[in-house]
Structure 1
Amino acid sequence: MNKNDVAKTLSNILSSKKEADNAVNRVFEELKTALKNGEKVVITGFGSFNMLVTKTKKGRNPKTGETLLISPMKKVRFKQSKEFFDK
C-alpha cells in the first residue's frame, strides 16, 4: 500500500479524491515537521516514530580498503505498539 492507495481509501469517506489527497499530504507533512523538531509521534494502536541520531563510527572503503569515519546521521525509528504486534 502506498500514499495514493491511502488517499483512494480515504476518498470513500471524504467528498472528493482531491480533498483526500490534501488530507493525506497534510498528515505526512505534520509527521515530518514534528520529527524534524525532535518530537516523538505516537499513533495509538499503531506505533510510535522518533528521530534517532547515530554515533560517529569507523567504516572502510571496499574499493581501496581505506579506513574512514562515518559522520552521525539522523534516522527515523518506528516501534510498533503492543496492539499492532498482537494482531
Structure 2
Amino acid sequence: MTKNDIARVLSRILSSKKEAEAAVNKVFEEMSNSLKNGDKVVITGFGSFNMLETKTKQGRNPRTCEKLFIAPMKKIRFKQSKKFFE
C-alpha cells in the first residue's frame, strides 16, 4: 500500500482527493518530525516507531580484507502491537 492508496481510501470519507492527500502528507510529516526530535510515535492497535542510533562498528572491505570502521547511523525501528496479529 502506498501513500496514494491511503489518500484514495481517505478521499471516500473526506470531501476531495486533494484534501485527503494533504491530510496523509501532514500525518507523515508530523510522524517524521517527531522521530527526528527523538520522540516515539505510537499508533494504538498497530504499533510504535522510534529512532535508534547504531554504534560505531568494525567491518572489512571484502576486496582487500582491510579493516574499517562503520560510522554510527540513525535507523527507524517498528514494533508491532500485540493486537496487530489478533
Asked if Structure 1 and Structure 2 have the same fold, meaning a TM-score greater than 0.5 normalized by the shorter chain, the answer is yes
**CA distance in 1: counterparts of 2:53 and 2:27, whole angstroms:** 24
Which residue of structure 1 aligns with residue 58 of structure 2?
A: 58
TM-score (ref. length: structure 2): 0.97
Which residue of structure 2 aligns with residue 24 of structure 1?
A: 24
Which residue of structure 2 aligns with residue 40 of structure 1?
A: 40
Aligned letter for 1:27?
V
Which residue of structure 1 aligns with residue 78 of structure 2?
A: 78
Percent identity over the alignment is 73
Shift of 1:72: 0.7
- CA deviation profile, 1:33-87 (whole Å, cap 9, x unmatched): 000000000000000000011111001111221110001110000000010022x
| Unaligned segments of structure 2, at least 5 residues | none
**CA distance in 2: counterparts of 1:2 and 1:42, whole angstroms:** 20
Which has the higher mean CA deviation after the structures are superposed, 75-84 or 64-73? 64-73
Q: How many residues align?
A: 86
TM-score (ref. length: structure 1): 0.96
Is 1:11 paired with 2:11? Answer: yes
Which has the higher mean CA deviation after the structures are superposed, 57-66 or 11-20? 57-66
Q: Which runs of 4+ in 1 moved over 6 A?
A: none
Q: Supply the RMSD in Å over aligned alpha carbons.
A: 0.7
Which has the higher mean CA deviation after the structures are superposed, 55-64 or 70-79? 55-64
